[in-house]
Amino acid sequence: MGFTIAQKAKGLFKRLKKGDIIFVHEKGIHNFLGKIVQLNRWHHVMLYIGDGKVLEAVPVKGCIITPLKLDNRYHGVKIMRFNGILGVQRKQLINSAITTFLHKKFSGLQAFRTFFMRKFGLVSLLLLPTRFKRGSYVCNPDLVTCSNLIAMSYYKIGVRISDTVLPEYVMPKDYEHALGLETVAEVEEG
């Protein structure tokens, strides 16, 4: 018999830093829906804000702060970090993310829009090349999903998850290719 996520994840809490990005591969309906829309194996993304808590965007509840529970609801957990970010930037990131997104509604429409545009290769229609490249692009914080909450928060401190996709349309799989983002830990059942 293998180890559960809860057993394997015990040591991860000591390694977390504010601003870390936590990916989970959920069991149940989320796993099923992830396969239908062809996401990578990471279905949900959370921002670690310190003191054992995360900021996340979830359907029905919206953007909330919850205790981080790495338990048996998950097949796997992955933690990624931008190592080039200073402590001051991490604090700015967390404060901005909480101020901007806490209590915002989860946008099912934006989740659908992101899936549709990305699935059918319409990403180039999403880019505003001159504004985005100059850094004057302003994100729309009212179109919140789990993965774009984090992308928009990082964008506000000058860090882009993708050079080819606007922050509102970032999906969990985009984090795998972000420059400067490194895997700190990854655990899976078994």
pLDDT at 116: 83
Task: Dig out the tokens for 178 from the structure.
Answer: 């972000």
pLDDT digits (tens, 9 = 90+) for 54-95: 999 999 999 999 999 877 777 788 999 998 899 899 999 999
pLDDT at 42: 78
pLDDT at 39: 53
- Residues of the chain whose pLDDT is less than 70? 1-10, 28-41, 122-136, 190
Q: What type of residue is 43?
A: H
Q: How far apart are CA 39 and CA 147, in angstroms?
A: 12
- The structure tokens 């509840």 sit at 61
pLDDT at 101: 97
Mention every residue, 6+ apart, whose C-beta is less than 8 A from residue 4.
72, 189
pLDDT at 23: 92
Task: Give the architecture (CATH level 2) of 5-188.
Answer: Alpha-Beta Complex (3.90)
Mention every residue, 6+ apart, whose C-beta is less than 8 A from residue 181.
21, 80, 81, 82, 161, 175
* 8-state DSSP, 46: E
pLDDT at 32: 44
Q: How far is CA 152 from the centre of its chain?
A: 10
For residues 42 and 172, the answer to whether their CB atoms sit within 8 Å is: yes
For residue 185, the cross-strand partners are 79
Give the domain ranges of the chain: 5-188
Q: What is the pTM of this model?
A: 0.86
For residue 24, the cross-strand partners are 44, 77
What are the helix (H) ranges across the chain? 5-8, 29-36, 87-101, 108-119, 129-134, 146-156
Query: H helices then E strands: how many in the chain?
Result: 6, 6
